[in-house]
Amino acid sequence: MRIGRRSSASARLSILVAVLSVPAFTGVWELVARSGIVNAVLFPPPSTVAVAILEWVRSGQFFADLMASLSRVAAGFAIGAAGGIVLGVLTGRFRLVSSLLSPLFHILRPIPPVAFVPIVILWFGLSETGKLFLVVWGVFFTVWLATHIGVQKVDRGLIRAAQMLGTPQPQMLWEIVLLGALPYITVGLRTAVSISFYTLVAAELAGAFAGIVYRIEIAQQNMQTGQVMGGLAALGLLSFVADRSFAILAERAVWWR
């Protein structure tokens, strides 16, 4: 009984500390930034950052930037993931397709997508196509590999049972194999969510006309450190929300586990 009470007391304490953690650090940051120990232009207090964010939102630019970044990530993710899943099912299921494509994919996959920025600028200039290309590139290989491995790990018994029931090949691929590999695919997709944000950063830094990272870069050139930090906060929040909602979605998708 006493142990129970003590552990519940310590549990309450850790909840309290967790709740106060971010406000406490923000408070310390505010104090340090205002105290004059550091250069307030390079290291502005949170209040300055908050004002910058508010101004960003009020001007209407925030929404435009958000939509620009979000649509790049979403479109790139959708195309890259769809391609990765389709080719992953084919290479995972058919040895000949795998022999044809896997060596190539294994050579290209380890090259960090960010390293493709120069050639993407050569090919596509500063167009949206180039940015889309980078995000698709980053997402594709991760999803492809996860699907490829997942397909090979599909319970053989399940496939044999489906074969015995006369399941036609297309249904075998796009129902039994795909759903059988889904637990692996969702892990790959979730990793790809954060990769799509990394590549977005590279794509927008390479030159854009709108977007959250583009805004951060402009603010940096104008020495608006508050706006830079506001941009980082927005990006962090956005990718956090994307990751969490994907995790919830994935849990629903593989509900039978």
The answer to whether 126 contacts other proteins (rule: CB under 8 A) is no
| Residues 6 or more apart whose Cβ sits within 8 Å of residue 139 | 76, 77, 79, 80, 81, 84, 192, 195, 196, 199
CB of 205 to other proteins, least distance (A): 42
- Per-residue contact track with other proteins, 130 to 159, x per CB under 8 A? -------------------------x-xx-
The answer to whether 107 contacts other proteins (rule: CB under 8 A) is no
The answer to whether 249 contacts other proteins (rule: CB under 8 A) is no
Cβ proximity to other proteins, 114 vs 179, nearer residue: 179
Read out DSSP for 204-229? HHT--SSSHHHHHHHHHHTT-HHHHH
- Choose the stretch contacting other proteins; rule: CB under 8 A; options: 21-29, 129-137, 160-168, 229-237: 160-168
The answer to whether 164 contacts other proteins (rule: CB under 8 A) is yes
The answer to whether 160 contacts other proteins (rule: CB under 8 A) is yes
Question: From the list 1, 166, 222, 252, which residue makes contact with other proteins (rule: CB under 8 A)?
Answer: 166
- Choose the stretch contacting other proteins; rule: CB under 8 A; options: 15-23, 42-50, 165-173, 242-250: 165-173
Burial 137-149 (b: 16+ CB within 10 A, else e): bbbbbbbbbbbbb
The answer to whether 9 contacts other proteins (rule: CB under 8 A) is no
First to last CA, the chain: 36
The answer to whether 179 contacts other proteins (rule: CB under 8 A) is yes
Residue among 180, 111, 97, 178 nearest 142 (CA) = 111
Interface contacts to other proteins, rule CB under 8 A: 155, 157-158, 160-168, 171, 176, 179, 256-257
